[in-house]
Structure 1
Amino acid sequence: MRTWGEVLERTTLPAAELADRLPGSRRAVVTAPPGSGKTTLVPVMAALETTRRVLVAEPRRIAVRAAARHLASLLGESVGQRVGYSIRGESKRSSGTQIEFVTTGLLIQRMIHDPDLAGVGAVILDEVHERSLDTDLALAFALDIADLRDDLTLWAMSATTDAAALAALMGEGTPVHSASGRMFEVDTSFVAPPARVAALDARGMSRDFLRFLAAHTAEMISGVEAGTLLVFVPSVRDVDESVAALRGLTDAPVLPLHGSLPADSQDRAIGPHSGPRIVVTTSVAETGLTVADVVGVIDAGLSRQPRYDAARDASALVTVRASKAAMTQRAGRAGRTQAGFAHRLLAPQECAALRAADPPESATADLTDAALALAAWGDPDASNSRFLDPLPPAALTPARARLVELGAADADGKLTAVGERLADLPLDPRTGAALLALAPAIGVERAARIAAALESGRRAPGSDARLLPNPGADKRTIGRLTRALRASATSRPNRKIDNDAALALMIARAHPGFIARARSANSLRYLTASGLGAELPTDSPLIGSPWLAIAEVQRLGQTFLVRSAAPLPEDLLDYAGAHLISSSTQHEIHGTTVRATRSRRLGVIDLHTQPIAVDPEAARPLARELIAEHGIGIVDAPSPAVSSLLDRLAFLHARRGEPWPDFSAQAIATNPDLLAMCLDRLVHGKRARSEDLRADIMAALPWPEAARLDELVPERLEIPSGRSVALSYTDDSVRIAAKLQEFFGAASSPTVLDQPVVIELLAPGGQTLATTADLASFWAGPYAQVRAEMRGRYPKHPWPEDPIAATPTRLTNRALRERG
């Protein structure tokens, strides 16, 4: 066994140089490039300064375990003695533990429950440059505690962040201590894929690019005699598929490394190995985690970033181009024990265009967890907390509103009794609220098992969340949740629900907006209650489920790929999404009528719709809109008599104006009540009829003037032959059509409202011979030519030389002789 001092004396890591400068600094910023040994050695320096416990916070569980094991090995003892660790659901520490590695999330929980951090002499926040939301919160809370405790040491460690800004945040006079970087050169180069191979497609890293990456990696490992080739890809799925592809291309061992793996699998990937091997990993190995014997890095140049859609309450991870800072971190994994190389699988010009660093997680993530922590800390609006970048109001405001919806906070942001319980649970607030609500219904033990499974971080094979529960792996979390629940819930369920339905119910209560219905039978595509389009993978056993409770999605353009879900029995919909169930009555325009329906909905999903009687008051605005839009066209087929009446009135109004009514489209649009009878039919859900339109017309006529309507604008006109012929009205003319012979004897054209009627003079066969409003001029001029052309074609009909002196008739010459 070695002492803390001996660990510092024996090391050759560059961070050891800080031992002459860092001790004695109550607050400090420590910067050092990857590979400097700061994660191992800086906590030792703190342990030499205090007899109390040193808490070292890491963003990832895998880094917590690895750092504790490595430092314990340098001391020559096992984890749990002087060096321990604690993560959610797992802890190895003792009363003799002086340095304890913890996740930043767990540190936040401890500070909330013990704002004095009794028994703690130093807090060290590692990897601050990653700007995870938990790290930002942990730093803000730790600064508040350090303000009240003169004896608490607070150091923030970073590889690349703006040290000056961080030091300013921590307080005036905070020093920045820097250590040198790695000891061996890393040859960094660019290896661009062929032009036809795109790195990204709608689902993330493209399969063509994955094949290119695998082929290049297999080629590079063939030249490695010993050591690890570390391959960075964006997602767990990409890790698994890359591992499978590489195992078909090389005989070298190929191991996955990501946060969802069991601890022993992670240990194998991180630990030493004789001979060449490949480790395919996500961003977990960028910083704070040392993979043994790395001689080369293959960097896909991609990363996963959280994206939160506040309007839809949808969180998802998207695959994007990595930042320059991230790729620098990845390259830093090589060259720690010997000269190494880093191959970036993109063109130099692509790298030059990349963003310098990733945005802080608070800028793109769901802030519900953070809002709960802030409320528990007594600063619900974050106005008194110190952040490098303020939490965006556009995300914090809906997160605070969500706590109110969950019953976790009141309108002022103060935690309720439910909120205080949620703050004690190692769960997302939504899952925690679902757990508290459902434990009485499905039983404490089962509720705890399901909640632990949903929060485990494990992947759901085929997106089927029914395969997630693993009581053995979740034993500690289940125990903690069970103990928390038994204080207020009975162990026996009060509803008969099977295990699969209970799982779906828990998901649905946690994410009611993600209750989804298949768009059609056996469809991959679903519509969620919040209005999102979601799609199952083509190999999912969930295909064919009418309803799903969706726990996790991946964004794909305008839709979302379901990553974890369970079939939700339809008879549990009311219970699962109670606050989203609504009944409403809708009045809508359908063609030229108003219809009413009563709908029962789950969010935007229509559960049942039935027609009901129209409410006249609710329908009135729509009926007026219909009449304004269609005018007299609101009646599908007005009778000829009504059409004629409207035409006569239009001519009369155009010639005489008031008090004669105007039924033009513009006039009706301005005053829909002009068609009152039609309106009354529409507000009762009926069609407007021709007789309703006639009644409206008659009601609008002025009296006593209306008594002269037929006199002023007659519907028919007696022509010289004695026959009554219908007049045809437009806004600016009146027309009549009859055989030319019927107008013999007429010296002039008839008039309506002093305007000559336009006469269409017809041949005996019905074709138009001439159109005139001046009959006298026609007889005197064109008639002679018409007579010359027609008398040979129609010799049986009279064509006198002097039409004014002739007798008007419809008869032929023979008929006239027989009559005469």
Structure 2
Amino acid sequence: MAQPLPIDAVLPKLCAVIAAQGQAVLQAPPGAGKTTRVPLALLEQVAGRILMLEPRRLAARAAAERMAETLGEPVGATVGYRIRGEAKVGAETRIEVVTEGILTRMIQSDPDLPGVGAILFDEFHERSLNADLGLALALEIRSALRPDLILLPMSATLDAAPVAALMGGAPVITAEGRSFPVEVKWRERPLPKGQRLAAAVADLVAEAVAETEGGVLVFLPGEGEIRAVQGMLTGRFPETCEIRPLFGAMPFAAQRAAIAALPDPRRRKIVLSTSIAETSLTIEDIRVVVDAGQSRRARFDPGSGMSRLVTEKVSRAEATQRSGRAGRVAPGVSYRLWTKGEDGALAGFAPAEIEAADLAGLALELAQWGSADLAFLTPPPEAAMAEARALLRALWALTAEDRITDHGRALAALPLHPRLAHMLMTAGPQAAPLAALLGERDPLPGAGADLGLRLGALSEQRPAPDASRAALARIRTEAKRLARGLPQRPAMSPAEMAALAYPDRIGQRRPGDEPRYLLSGGRGAVIRSDDALAQARFIVATDLDGGGREAKVRQALRIEESEIRALMGDQIGWETICAWSRRDGRVVTRKHEKLGALVLADQPWPDAPPEAMAQAMCDGVRQLGLRLSGAAARFRARVELVRAGDADLPDMRDAALLDGLEDWLAPHLSGVRSAEDWKGFNPLPALQAMLDWGQTQRLNEAAPAAFTTPLDRKIPIDYDGETPSISLRLQEMFGVTQHPMIGNTPLRVTLLSPGHKPVQVTTDIPGFWVSSYADVRKDMRGRYPKHNWPEDPTVAEPTLRARRKP
């Protein structure tokens, strides 16, 4: 360790804290040296191996090489590394730099981690899902199995207090960074709308090269943008400038060349990199940073059903880290492709991956662990976890009680999304090309939705554009790796294999001219009408745009109904439908053969139970409305009037009746199946049946249904108004000397002429006889001379007839 680094000043204190308490949180800015100095410093006091997690494969290999070089040894001696598909470790290895998924597999395989003395979480501030899970598992192991296990999260920008609290109050050690001043240059105006990012970055790089000296590090979101900017810069600079891309999918030799110093100090290096260069990597000779202000992050994409890399604006913390790259060896300059005003709108920190990523893999790991009650810095969202477990049940990885199955354990052992792992384990090596293809970005963008075109190009049966050959070659290599060691399975079509991974994405074309589909999971999807798949009756949608109720199909395969039945036969079953149809205005009864939301066959159901039909008609009544009138309305009004003083009577207001239709109405709906039937239905018996004998007696006593006239006719009493009322011919009340009453309430009586026109409304018939009757008699005698209009109606006989002729 000849060259001093800022981290050296805190190493004694860190070692003392680790020796005393066995855990700590280390804060150290980029360039402080924590990645390569801390593991070596802990070698003497850690009994066993030291595992250091790195989020990226390139950083893991580079860190191992740097530490091995410091010790004067080859990689694989004291210091080694393990990444997916590659390992350089030996019997004497004490420090293993591993990528995050490797640690999870080690813990699941042997939870007490024999031979491991310490776990270091480098770049923990990036808050990857695997790092959060790894720390949560390690904390439980330390608590239950290995109190001697040393834990040390290391971070460049993370607020360390929550991490320390999660670890039970672990000490926080802070190291100062080596800071040379960095001048930040902003754009004066925002980028014009429509301007291509690559062109704007290329112009900014040219400006930076003209104004500065030393190596230039350019941050771009991904490989595509790097290739585009590289093409625009080629031939734009003197031959002394070397343009070197740097991204994760490159061969390691090319990555190493981008990191290493140029042998000729007179030459100048321009490195076009993804966010892989933000923190732990040391890139030699960099004095200038050009930041495009974008980053790719793993986000759960409902369209593909898996995590997808999406392009987002960087956070302020990320921008600060990137700028700091210019000041590691000398004063530097940072050019930003956004204005100082736009900087204020950036998020302070990038969100934790657990908040937005697909949690199917996490749910599977927790099921294998046997407990979801782990200490997470950010707890996984409950809704996302429920969705993840539902998918795992569909993939046979979890039981109905969410316990892991043997198949689920096999899926967890594969470095793939559970969807693809399920497909690979079920279909065998024949599925490896499709699994590798679905796990990568589309190698033929713009080629239409048919995934078969990509498979044809992958198998070299179809020509591929030059721009796609590198991606296809990478996918072929991955397919060979995935196929190794898998047992052969019966032959399956690509569509059948895709359906294994996407049982919720089997689509059935809807009726109509537009190529619209219903997916087995219940969502809608649409394909462009000019696409080769537009006429397919069934598809398997492997990639959707994820938007709204009806998503755009980005990639899919045509599948035959016979293939669906052969593959998903155990999930296809008959479902009886007895429901109200708003469109038809009636109860419909059908039998559907269904796969999820898809209807594969539709038949009549002639023997539907009357109870089910009545229940469905109740839904129709709710849509049509109660429409109580006549005798039913009067009965309801009587009950409501009496219920005000007798709470024992049932509530017959509309809301209560509609809420309880299945109880009081359904038993009386025999033969009622449509809106037309409902119009002719008399609900009065159903309403009357809501009252028992005692309630009915009290109702009849307190609010009789009718008034008996002197001629012994029963006149229905209307209770809808404020006062109970009746209407009858005036002559029928001759001889009445006491006004009719309901309890203590006088009836409102409308007296009618022989022509049934109202002539008087009164609540005091005796008073009417002595007051207004004389004027009414005078008028009625003129209009109805054939009828009897006595001078003294109190002694006259009631009648409904005209006088007899003399």
For the pair 1:323 / 2:315, whether they are aligned, the reply is yes
Partner of 1:584: 575
Specify the SS of the correspondent of 1:101: strand
For the pair 1:351 / 2:343, whether they are aligned, the reply is yes
Which of 591, 597, 602 in structure 2 is aligned with 1:598? 591
Q: In 1, distance between residues paired with 2:632 and 2:151?
A: 89
> In 2, are the aligned partners of 1:31 and 1:159 still within 8 Å (CA)?
yes
Amino acid at match of 1:160: T
> In 1, are the aligned partners of 2:63 and 2:97 still within 8 Å (CA)?
yes
Partner of 2:248: 259
Q: In 2, distance between residues paired with 1:69 and 1:295?
A: 23
Amino acid at match of 1:595: V
For the pair 1:393 / 2:382, whether they are aligned, the reply is yes
Partner of 2:121: 125
Q: How does 1:379-418 map to 2 (within 5 A)?
A: 380-382=371-373, 385-400=374-389, 402-410=391-399, 414-418=403-407
TM-score (norm 2): 0.68
Partner of 1:719: none
Q: In 1, distance between residues paired with 2:223 and 2:569?
A: 35
Specify the SS of the correspondent of 2:363: helix
Which of 78, 95, 98 in structure 2 is aligned with 1:99? 95
Q: How does 1:211-222 map to 2 (within 5 A)?
A: 211-222=199-210
Specify the SS of the correspondent of 2:318: helix
For the pair 1:299 / 2:299, whether they are aligned, the reply is no
* Structure 1 unmatched runs, 5+: 1-7, 198-205, 635-645, 654-665, 706-711, 713-730, 735-751, 760-773, 782-820
**CA separation of 1:304/1:619 partners in 2, compared to 1, >3 Å: closer, same or farther?**
farther
**CA separation of 1:561/1:312 partners in 2, compared to 1, >3 Å: closer, same or farther?**
closer
Q: In 2, distance between residues paired with 1:320 and 1:651?
A: 64
Q: CA deviation at 1:105?
A: 0.9
Q: In 1, distance between residues paired with 2:510 and 2:80?
A: 52
Q: CA deviation at 1:566?
A: 4.1
Partner of 1:232: 220
Partner of 2:423: 434
**CA separation of 1:14/1:296 partners in 2, compared to 1, >3 Å: closer, same or farther?**
same
Q: CA deviation at 1:328?
A: 1.8
Amino acid at match of 2:379: P
Cα offsets for 1:645-682 (capped at 9, x unmatched): x99x99999xxxxxxxxxxxx99x99999999x96665
Q: How does 1:73-112 map to 2 (within 5 A)?
A: 73-74=69-70, 78-112=74-108
Partner of 1:446: 430
Q: In 1, distance between residues paired with 2:441 and 2:98?
A: 17
Q: In 1, distance between residues paired with 2:378 and 2:756?
A: 83
For the pair 1:160 / 2:153, whether they are aligned, the reply is no
Partner of 2:503: 512
Amino acid at match of 1:296: V
- Equivalences, count: 678
Q: Which one is further off, 360-369 or 126-135?
A: 360-369
**CA separation of 1:405/1:527 partners in 2, compared to 1, >3 Å: closer, same or farther?**
closer
Amino acid at match of 1:596: T
Q: How does 1:699-738 map to 2 (within 5 A)?
A: none
Partner of 1:619: 613
Partner of 1:802: none
Q: CA deviation at 1:163?
A: 2.4
> In 2, are the aligned partners of 1:54 and 1:120 still within 8 Å (CA)?
yes
Specify the SS of the correspondent of 1:22: helix
Q: How does 1:474-485 map to 2 (within 5 A)?
A: 482-483=484-485, 485=486
> In 2, are the aligned partners of 1:597 and 1:610 still within 8 Å (CA)?
yes
**Identity in percent:** 35
Q: In 2, distance between residues paired with 1:544 and 1:58?
A: 48
Q: CA deviation at 1:370?
A: 1.9
**CA separation of 1:567/1:311 partners in 2, compared to 1, >3 Å: closer, same or farther?**
closer
Partner of 1:808: none
> In 2, are the aligned partners of 1:460 and 1:563 still within 8 Å (CA)?
no
**CA separation of 1:239/1:146 partners in 2, compared to 1, >3 Å: closer, same or farther?**
same
Q: In 1, distance between residues paired with 2:206 and 2:517?
A: 40
Which of 166, 176, 181 in structure 2 is aligned with 1:180? 176
Specify the SS of the correspondent of 1:345: strand
Q: In 2, distance between residues paired with 1:20 and 1:689?
A: 88
Specify the SS of the correspondent of 1:30: strand
Q: Which one is further off, 336-345 or 134-143?
A: 336-345
Which of 45, 59, 64 in structure 1 is aligned with 2:60? 64
Q: CA deviation at 1:158?
A: 0.7
Q: In 2, distance between residues paired with 1:777 and 1:70?
A: 120
**CA separation of 1:532/1:592 partners in 2, compared to 1, >3 Å: closer, same or farther?**
closer
Q: Which one is further off, 513-522 or 290-299?
A: 513-522
Q: In 2, distance between residues paired with 1:755 and 1:248?
A: 110
Q: In 2, distance between residues paired with 1:447 and 1:264?
A: 30
Partner of 1:571: 562
Cα offsets for 1:527-560 (capped at 9, x unmatched): 5333445567999886766544344555457775
Instruction: Please give the root-mean-square deviation of Cα atoms over the aligned residues, in Å.
Output: 5.5
Q: In 1, distance between residues paired with 2:532 and 2:181?
A: 50
> In 1, are the aligned partners of 2:519 and 2:525 still within 8 Å (CA)?
yes
Specify the SS of the correspondent of 1:21: helix
Q: CA deviation at 1:127?
A: 0.7
> In 1, are the aligned partners of 2:208 and 2:335 still within 8 Å (CA)?
no
Q: In 1, distance between residues paired with 2:443 and 2:728?
A: 80
> In 2, are the aligned partners of 1:260 and 1:458 still within 8 Å (CA)?
no
Specify the SS of the correspondent of 2:338: coil
**CA separation of 1:193/1:407 partners in 2, compared to 1, >3 Å: closer, same or farther?**
same
Specify the SS of the correspondent of 1:346: strand
Partner of 2:492: 497
Q: CA deviation at 1:474?
A: 6.7
Partner of 1:54: 50
Q: In 2, distance between residues paired with 1:538 and 1:237?
A: 29
Amino acid at match of 1:40: T
Amino acid at match of 1:61: R
Amino acid at match of 2:519: T
For the pair 1:419 / 2:408, whether they are aligned, the reply is yes
Specify the SS of the correspondent of 1:333: helix
**CA separation of 1:530/1:403 partners in 2, compared to 1, >3 Å: closer, same or farther?**
closer
Partner of 2:26: 30
Amino acid at match of 1:619: M
Q: In 2, distance between residues paired with 1:605 and 1:506?
A: 19
**CA separation of 1:411/1:513 partners in 2, compared to 1, >3 Å: closer, same or farther?**
closer
Amino acid at match of 1:39: T
* Structure 2 unmatched runs, 5+: 460-471, 636-653, 689-705, 707-712, 714-725, 730-749, 758-775, 784-806
Q: In 1, distance between residues paired with 2:154 and 2:361?
A: 24
Amino acid at match of 1:510: A
> In 1, are the aligned partners of 2:672 and 2:678 still within 8 Å (CA)?
no
Q: Which one is further off, 133-142 or 88-97?
A: 88-97
Amino acid at match of 1:354: L
> In 2, are the aligned partners of 1:83 and 1:99 still within 8 Å (CA)?
yes
